[in-house]
Structure 1
Amino acid sequence: MGNLLNLRRIGLALAAPVLAVVAALLITCVILLVAGNPVSGFLTTIFTVPADRNIVNILNNASILYLSGLAAAIGFRMNLFNIGVEGQYRTAVFAAAAFAAQGWLPGPINVVVSIVLAMVVGAAWAGIAGLLKVTRGVSEVISTIMLNAIALSLTAYLLRKVGVVTGNNLSTKDIPQDSWVSGIRILPSAPNELLGLALLAVIGGVAYAVLLNRSRFGFQLRATGTSASAAVASGIDVRRMVVVSMLISGAIAGLIGLPLLFGNSHNYGSTFQTGIGFAGIAVALLGRNHPIGIAFGALLFSYLTEQSSLLEIKAGVSNDIVSITQGVIVLSVVIAYEVVRRYRTALEQRRVAAELNTPAPAVATSEATR
């Protein structure tokens, strides 16, 4: 009976994201039909088995999306909507790139100090929103939106001050070669490698799981996110929890751009990858803020993005349709989780009702009690 209940629980946990993905694909197909595009070509291309080099690309992008998802999930578990991950990531990676390019420290130490610096800058940028919330009552949604815009303008301004022009790209100076982080060859037949600092995603996921489920802070975080009034009644300092949660969220956001910085681009410039912070919010929602669920969401979004590059070539469909699919997944997952929640509640109610209606076993009486 216990095994059956565990299997049912696992099935219900998987049902919501699967329903969301199926619904998103169906809606995408309807959009393609209305637009007069070939549905069969879209599905065939999307579900084509990726080549080895594409698999490595999927893992690289998924590791970056995973870090972004973790940064957003910390806030969500605290019932905070940190949509400033994009700005926190931008300021952090710029600071790390500008510092590392100076080459003041030996290679490995330069990398480690740059990682710490990126986390500090990301935490400080997120901490502004946390302080505004607890001291002035400013919604973190509004403040992080504004901080995103400020971060974009600030990094662009500083880049013009310290950057160098190479062709059409304005960027910081290149990081010294002894500070480059070598990739990891995971598929011998693939010409590309897994980014060395993609391992930060693994470390971050383990740390997130331990923090949430094996620490006092994690318990207080979940308790406050569930009911702030109950947390206050139990003696939890909610204002402190808000600030610390935003600091941790920003620190994780500071790691997002480092795998690309030290493993691929070696500088921060006007062409550095953008939009990762906003994608991380969708990944966290799809993964229900669970470390394994976020990994599933990151892999799915990375897979769709990688396969989209083939759509225009093989199916004659604009790769923008994948952005629509990803957006519909986010909308569908909210509905799917609610449907599954109601179904789980109905099952639990029926189980309890069945147990209450079960007649009690007869109790034998001895001769002495008659």
Structure 2
Amino acid sequence: MTAAVATALTGGVKGRFLAPALALLFAALLCGIALLISGDSPWLALSTMVGQVTQGTTAVDILNSAAVYYVSGLAVALGFQMKLFNIGVEGQFRLAACVAAIVGGALVLPPVLHTLVIILVAVLVGAAWAGIAAVLRAYRGVSEVISTIMLNAIATGLIAYLIRPDTFGVLQGNNISTQPITPSGRFPGISFGESGTVLGMVFVAAALGFGYWFLLGRTRFGFELRASGESPTAAAAGGVNARRMTLVALLLSGAMAGLVGLPELLGRDFAYTLNAPQGYGFTGIAIALLGRNHPVGVALGSLLWAFLDKAALALDNVGVPREIAVIMQGVSVIAVVIAYEIVRRYELTAQRRRVTGASPAAAPAGAAS
């Protein structure tokens, strides 16, 4: 593996965190200006957003939502490491949750084993659905963006078919859902009384973050994966099979996407319904960009996103437009991309200056030899 690739993979740590910080500062400033123009107080908005964290179950709700966002963000980030845009996380997680709910509701197994089977089914379905795009990309050169968008639409139709009353669905009042998962298949959480219950899958999400960091930062496979994304030519020269890496990256991304819907399925809903949550896959794209594919950055981005989700309701209660929170979410993502590029160019310029400054000093030594 060339030294240039190794440098690209290990450098820029300061920029990785500086860019999101600048982006958030810019987003907050822009929202403050928007509030002033509309005649609202930025201080009232900020104090309301921060103060709502200590009220009721808000803190726990933020943590639970952040866990879902985190898994989705990691699934997208894993593809980004190979410069693959897995926009199909939405379809992968929804189909995986639906099939896992069907299997979980149909089986009668001992506790723990029942839960593990449901999790395994979700992982396999997510990987299999992403595997279609992986094979098309690796062997036919089909853009994963196009194929995964199409697979999202197909997944929506397939889910609608699977939960029909004449297939695997059951009528629950005016709603249709899968057969409820019995208590043996549920994932218990930790209750904090009136403050809410932390979903058990929150800890699984944290473990996934550690596994993501270890795989990419502490294993040869992770190094080869990132190297293939940074420079396919250099990676191929080092003996890395680019086709294999494409397949594995999308399969792993899909497998992780399959877990996105499980925190709520196993900890709150216990069945998949027509009103099951949607949009987590697309939110994961924004969070992966916000966190720059780093496990800590994605975690902070997930917490910020969940915080702003809850803040929108609090702002509405005090007469401040709730759209301010949505604006801040969108501006943060756009700003972090711009800020990252600014920081990258600054670091590149600084590096060139250091190299240029070192060259004259090196010349006399070469002449003396």
TM over 0.5: yes
Is residue 2:250 matched to residue 1:254? no
Q: Out of 345, 348, 351, which is 1:345 matched to?
A: 348
Instruction: Please name the residue that 2:138 is paired with.
Output: 134
The answer as to 2:45 corresponding to 1:42 is yes
Structure 1, 105-114 or 244-253: larger mean CA deviation:
105-114
SS at match of 1:328: helix
Pair 1:147-2:144 in alignment: no
Q: Secondary structure at the match of 1:255?
A: coil
Identity of aligned residues (%): 47
Stretch deviating more after TM superposition (75-84 or 208-217): 208-217
Question: Given the alignment, which residue of 167, 176, 188 partners 1:182?
Answer: 188
The whole-number CA distance in structure 1 between the counterparts of 2:18 and 2:207 is 28
Distance 1:361 1:55 in 2: 63
Alignment match, 1:167: 173
Are the aligned partners of 2:60 and 2:197 in contact in 1 as well (CA < 8 Å)? yes
User: Over residues 192-225 of structure 1, what are the superposed CA-to-partner deviations in whole Å (9 max), with x where a residue is unaligned?
Assistant: 1110111111111111111112222111111110
Q: Aligned in 2, Cα 1:227/1:349: closer, same or farther, shift over 3 Å?
A: closer
Contact 1:45 1:315 in 2 (8 A): no
Amino acid aligned to 1:177: P
Separation in 2, partners of 1:79, 1:13: 17
- Secondary structure of the equivalent of 1:274? coil
RMSD of aligned residue pairs (Cα, Å): 2.3
How far is the alpha carbon of 1:361 from its aligned partner? 12
CA 1:356–1:251 in structure 2 vs 1: closer, same or farther (change >3 Å)? Answer: same
Q: Identify the match of residue 70 of structure 1 among 74, 80, 83.
A: 74
Q: CA deviation at 1:281?
A: 0.8
- Aligned residue pairs total 352
1:218 to 196, 219, 222: 222
Give the secondary structure class of the aligned counterpart of 2:106: coil
1:365 maps to none
Aligned CA distance change for structure 1 residues 38 and 164 (closer, same or farther; 3 Å)? farther
2:209–2:295 CA contact under 8 A, matched in 1: yes
User: Larger C-alpha radius of gyration, 1 or 2?
Assistant: 1
Q: Is the 8 A contact 1:42 1:315 kept in 2?
A: no
Q: Is the contact between residue 65 and residue 279 of structure 1 (CA under 8 Å) also seen in structure 2? A: yes
How far apart are 1:283 and its partner, in Å? 0.8
Q: Does the CA contact (< 8 Å) of 1:12 and 1:340 recur in 2?
A: yes
Shift of 1:47: 3.0
Cα pair distance change 1:12/1:216, threshold 3 Å:
closer
| 1:25 lines up with 2:25 in the alignment | no
Q: How high is the TM-score relative to the length of structure 1?
A: 0.88
Superposition deviation, residue 357 in structure 1? 6.1
Distance 1:219 1:14, change over 3 A: closer
* Distance 1:83-1:41 versus aligned 2 partners, 3 A rule: same
Q: Does 1:301 align with 2:305?
A: yes
Q: 2 CA distance for matches of 1:356 and 1:231?
A: 29
Matches within 5 A, 1:171-320: 171-185=177-191, 188=192, 190-317=194-321, 319-320=322-323
Relative distance call for 1:197 and 1:342 in structure 2 (3 A) is same
Q: Distance in 1 between matches of 2:362 and 2:156?
A: 68
Question: Counterpart amino acid of 1:168?
Answer: N
Distance 2:45 2:59 in 1: 19
Aligned-partner residue type, residue 343 of structure 1: Y
Q: Distance in 2 between matches of 1:346 and 1:224?
A: 25
Amino acid at match of 1:182: P
Aligned mates of 2:346, 2:216 — CA distance in 1: 27
Deviation of the 1:178 alpha carbon: 2.3
Task: String of CA shifts for 1:257-299, please: whole Å, max 9, x gaps.
Answer: 1111111111111121111011111111111111111111111
Q: Is the 8 A contact 1:98 1:172 kept in 2?
A: yes
Once the two structures are TM-superposed, the CA of residue 135 in structure 1 deviates from its matched residue by 2.0
- Once the two structures are superposed, the pairs formed by residues 50-129 of structure 1 within 5 Å of their partners are 50-51=53-54, 53-129=57-133
Would the aligned equivalents of 2:73 and 2:288 in 1 still touch at CA under 8 Å? Answer: yes
Kindly provide the amino acid, as one letter, of the partner of residue 309 in structure 1: L
Residues 38, 315 of structure 1: 8 Å contact kept: no
The whole-number CA distance in structure 2 between the counterparts of 1:236 and 1:12 is 28
Taking the aligned partners of 1:106 and 1:66, their CA distance within structure 2 comes to: 29
CA displacement at 1:345 relative to structure 2: 2.7
Q: Does the Cα contact within 8 Å between 2:52 and 2:314 map onto a contact in 1?
A: no
| Cα distance in 1 for residues equivalent to 2:150 and 2:316 | 36
TM-score relative to the length of structure 2: 0.89
Partner of 2:330: 327
**Range with bigger deviation, 210-219 or 290-299:** 210-219
